[in-house]
Amino acid sequence: MLKLFNTLGKKIETFSPADREVVDIFTCGPSVYQRAHIGNFRTFLFEDILVRYLMYSGYKVQRGMSLTDVEDKAIREADARKTTLRLLTGKNIKEFLQESALLHIRPPDFLPRASGNVERAVDIIRQLLDKKIAYWYRGSVYFDPLKFPGFGRLYGLDMSKWPEKKRRFHQDTYPGIQWNLGDFILWHGGRSGVTNTWDTKIGVGRPSWNIQDPSMICRYFNKTLSIYCGGIDNLYRHHDYNLAILESVRPFLMARYWLHGHHLYVNGKKMSKSRGNIYYTDTLLRKGFSFNEIRFFLIYNHYRERLDYTDEKMQAVAVPLRSFREGVAAIEGRAAKKASYDAPLALALRKAFISAMDNDLDVKGAFDGVHRLLCDVDAESLKAGDAAAVVRELKEMDEVLRVFF
C-alpha cells in the first residue's frame, strides 16, 4: 500500500484518493519570468515520479499544472529587457516544455496560464468581498487571514503571534523563507492605458500571484483534490494562502494530501545570479552528462531531503546508471519473444521496486534494490523466457523512472 508524507498533519499516511474513479492532482508550475534551472526541474521531476507511480499502481490520474505568466517579477524582467510580458513569458514557456520533454516529464492534462484565467480570479475575489473576508484598500484588494478560521494550518503557523496592528503586504512574492504576518494582496489595482492590466468587473488591474492557482484549480476541478504539490518554499505563505482562498469560497477541502519537495543546492550553496552558480540542463550537458543522467540524479535522492549538486556527486550517480543500463541491454539481447509466466527473478524485481516506492516514493531504495538483484546476474545464464520476463518487469518500472532503456 502506497504511503506518503502528508504535510497537512506532518506524518506518513496510507494513500486513499479523494475520488475512487480518478486521482486529481494539481501542482505549482514554473514562474516563467526566467528560464527554469535544475532546481526547478527537481520539483517537477518528483511530481512526475508521483504521477507515473500512481499510474503504475493502477490509478487513473488527472493532473493540472499552473504557468505563472503574470506577476511582479515577470513585469520587472520584461521592462528590464525592453520586451513585452507576453514575448518574455512565451519564450520561457516554450523552453520549459522542450526541456521537460527531454527530461521525460509527462505533460500535464491541463497546463493553464494565469493570464488566461483573470476573469475566474475576479469571480473569486468578488465572492471574498461579498463574504467580507477580502476588502478594498487604496484601489487594491486584500485578504484578511483573521477572517478565515484555522489560517496557517498547513504550515502550522502560531496565530497567537499575529500582530494586533493591521499590516498589509502589497507584493506578489517576498524574498526569503519567512512568514508575512498580515493581510496579503489579491488584486493589484491599475489604471486605464497601463500595460499588463485587464479591464474587469471589479475595475482595471491584475490578479496577484496568490489567487492565480485557485482560479486555475476552479476551472478544472470542482471537488477536493487528492494531492496538491510544490516546492518546500511554497509552504511559507503561498500554499496556506491558496488553501484559505479556495476553502473560503468552496464548501469542501482544497486537497486531501499535500506533498512538498526540498531544495537543490550547488556546491553547498543556494543558486543565485549574484553567486553565478545557477545551473541549467545545458550546464550539465556541457560537462558530458546526458538528459537521462540528469533526470536520474535529480530523482535518485529522496524528494523530501535537500540535494546538493557537485560534479563528483553527479558522476557518482551517472556511472552506476551507465553500468546498469549495459546490464539491462545484455538481458534484453538474451530475451525471447515470449516471457515466462513466473520467472523468480522477475517477481523478485517487482517486489523490491514496489516495496521501496510504496514507502513515500523511495526512488533510491527502488533503484538500489533492483540493481542489487541484477548486478550478479549473467545474462547468458538466464533462460530466454526468464530474460523476457525480467525485461517486461523492467520496462514497466521504467514507465515510472524513465532511465533504464
The whole-number average pLDDT for the span 339-363 is 96
Contacts by 325-328, CB closer than 8 A, 24 or more apart: 325/403, 325/404, 325/405, 327/374, 327/375, 327/377, 327/379, 328/374, 328/391, 328/394, 328/404, 328/405
**Which CATH number goes with the domain that contains 252?**
3.40.50.620
End-to-end CA separation in angstroms for the chain? 27
Summarised one tens digit per residue, pLDDT across range 58-92 is 999 999 999 999 999 999 999 999 999 999 999 99
What would you measure as the largest C-alpha separation in the chain, in angstroms? 78
Average pLDDT for the chain: 96
Number of domains in the chain: 2
Residue 252 lies in a domain: yes
Summarised one tens digit per residue, pLDDT across range 161-186 is 999 999 999 999 998 889 999 999 99
The cell for 148 is 478565515
Summarised one tens digit per residue, pLDDT across range 291-335 is 999 999 999 999 999 999 999 999 999 999 999 999 999 999 999
Model pLDDT, residue 273 = 74
Same structural domain, 89 and 163: yes
The cell for 155 is 504550515
Length of the chain: 405
Residue 132 pLDDT more than 80?
A: yes
* Rounded to 5°, angle at Cα 159 from 157 and 161: 105
Residue 341 pLDDT more than 90?
A: no
Residue 274 pLDDT more than 80?
A: no
The cell for 171 is 507584493
Banded model confidence at residue 348, pLDDT cuts 50, 70, 90: very high
Banded model confidence at residue 19, pLDDT cuts 50, 70, 90: very high
In the chain, what percentage of residues exceed pLDDT 70?
Answer: 100
Same structural domain, 355 and 396: yes
Residue 346 lies in a domain: yes
Same structural domain, 256 and 277: no
Question: Which domain does 306 fall in, by range?
Answer: 270-401
pTM: 0.96
Residue 6 lies in a domain: no
